[in-house]
Amino acid sequence: MKKIIFVISLLTVIGCNHQKGTSESKTKEAGYSYEIDLTKSIDDKIPVDLKYKGALTDTTTFYLPQIIPGIYDATNFGKYVSNLKAFDAKGNELNVIHDSENSWKIIGTNVLQRLTYQVDDGWEEFDFNDVRPYRSAESSFNKDMYIISTPAVFGYFKGHKEEAFNISVKKPTSFYGATSLPVLLRSDSIDQYQIDSYKRLVDNPLFYSSADTAKIHLPNIDIEVACYSSDNAEISKNIAAYIKPLLENQTTYLGGTLPMNKYTFMLYHNVNPEESGFSDGLEHATSTVVLMYLPNDMEFIKNTIYHTVSHEFFHTVMPIGLHSEIIANYDFNNPEYSKHLWLYEGMTEYFTIHMPIKHGLSSLDEFIGVIEGKVTEMKKYNNQLPFVELSKNPIKYQDQYMNVYFKGPLLNLCLDIKLRELSEGKYGVQEMVQDLIEEYGVERPFKDDELFDEIVRISGYGELREFFDKYIKSNDTIPLSAELEKVGLILNWEKERIEMVKSLSNSQKELRKYWINQ
């Protein structure tokens, strides 16, 4: 049977986590002390115990998120919680009102000491049944493997998201916990972590199974690859060896410096007996969860996850290293959305397809084929919808959202060629993003309404203002034909095909070389 690969790459969750030295113990006293016990999981539910130290009003609300950044649909993590109870210091039960799917009003919380509840998982096996996006944001529990989505397990009290969280995980002695959470303790039966706020906790999933791990050491970052395969095959070392050159080239492409020194890939492989499959990845600040439904064929696995891993790792730049105040101050139960999906997803996907040709890892024919594929897919969507409008209202335009992966990179391709032309080859979107990161960065988000003006100021090219106004803020037809022609490529919109000019002019030769090194 012909091999068919479907790859869904999802957006970064929280872009404002700056975690240097994540294995170091923290000294901040925790307001929240959570304990979960994987050894007492029953019917795919795990018990959760929260002890809280802090000042609450007489009546307050306990929340799990309705939605988290990067998930452009109401996930409603509270639906996985059952049997929530609250207690005072003497063990007396307090009155709890489950007033919405994601919230519990607790009466007498000025004496609250403890909460208990059970959490169910979101899916059992990653396969073609009930195929939907965002499963990589949900938990999955079974006796051999636990993917713990932190927003689906851990909640917070209203007005108390900035306090520290201690997380204690009781586990089978054969299990290893992969995560980028800062480690307080590791032992055979229990692991302990601490993180300094809720927004950072929900951006750090945990992955527990029998140890199948490998390490990748790059100049300024240590990367762990942790895997679980449903047939118990050990695959981490093969995958790590395969993706290491990719990550090395990506790091070079990004300027050699990343906004973290630790990164974790958590890969779950559910074996598909057929010669087909797909993968689904969700990026976090210092980790990525990748779900794979694939045959037990290492070459198939490698080929399928290549794009997923590449796209998600590029999110270390956007929006991790570069993001809006809207992302930095995200409201989990009443969110506002940034207008800059053209950057977070569109530029990330452009980097994903541009890096291989720029670094000589793919041929010009292969690169042209990728562009043609983006054109084909883009035409299936409403391209009269301004990109800013889509970005600000992603739930309203759910049926249009995937165009961020098609029109988005093509917009940035046009921007890259335009910048190379204006600068006589010296400046493109790589340099533009690096300049923006130097100006802003992990701990200094930009103002959402000011980014376009800031790019014009920092780059020094006033001509970009018209580009942003026409093609990102408004709905003018993307100038792909005109920009490709500048590098000797002729696009036939109707046939969705690109032909190479046989006799390039000197200007086309030079601009193409600056753009893709060919």
Q: Is 186 helix (H, G, I), strand (E, B) or coil?
A: strand
pTM of the predicted protein model: 0.89
**The CATH number of the domain covering residues in 4-10+211-320:** 1.10.390.10
Which region among 140-154, 436-450, 477-491 has the lowest average model confidence (pLDDT)? 436-450
The pLDDT of residue 338 is 93
The pLDDT of residue 167 is 98
Q: Can you give the residue ranges of every domain in the chain?
A: 4-10+211-320, 30-208, 337-516
CB 211 within 8 A of CB 295: no
Q: Assess whether pLDDT exceeds 90 at residue 110.
A: no
The pLDDT of residue 19 is 39
Superfamily for 337-516?
Neutral Protease Domain 2 (1.10.390.10)
Specify the CATH architecture of the domain 30-208. Sandwich (2.60)
The pLDDT of residue 392 is 94
- pLDDT tens digits, residue range 165-193? 999 999 999 999 999 999 999 999 999 99
- pLDDT tens digits, residue range 305-333? 888 889 988 888 888 788 999 988 888 88
Q: Assess whether pLDDT exceeds 90 at residue 449.
A: yes
Phi then psi dihedrals of residue 141, to 5 deg: -120, 130
The pLDDT of residue 272 is 94
The owner of tokens 């029998």 is 210
Q: How far apart are CA 469 and CA 452, in angstroms?
A: 9
pLDDT band at residue 1 using 50, 70 and 90 as cut-offs = very low
Which region among 256-260, 486-490, 494-498, 501-505 has the lowest average model confidence (pLDDT)? 256-260
- pLDDT tens digits, residue range 16-56? 333 333 334 445 677 999 999 999 999 999 999 999 998 88
Q: Which residue pairs, CB below 8 angstroms and at least 24 apart, start in 106-109? A: 106/59, 106/60, 106/61, 106/62, 107/58, 107/59, 108/58, 108/59, 109/56, 109/57, 109/58, 109/59, 109/60, 109/157
Is 4-10+211-320's fold the same as 337-516's?
Answer: yes
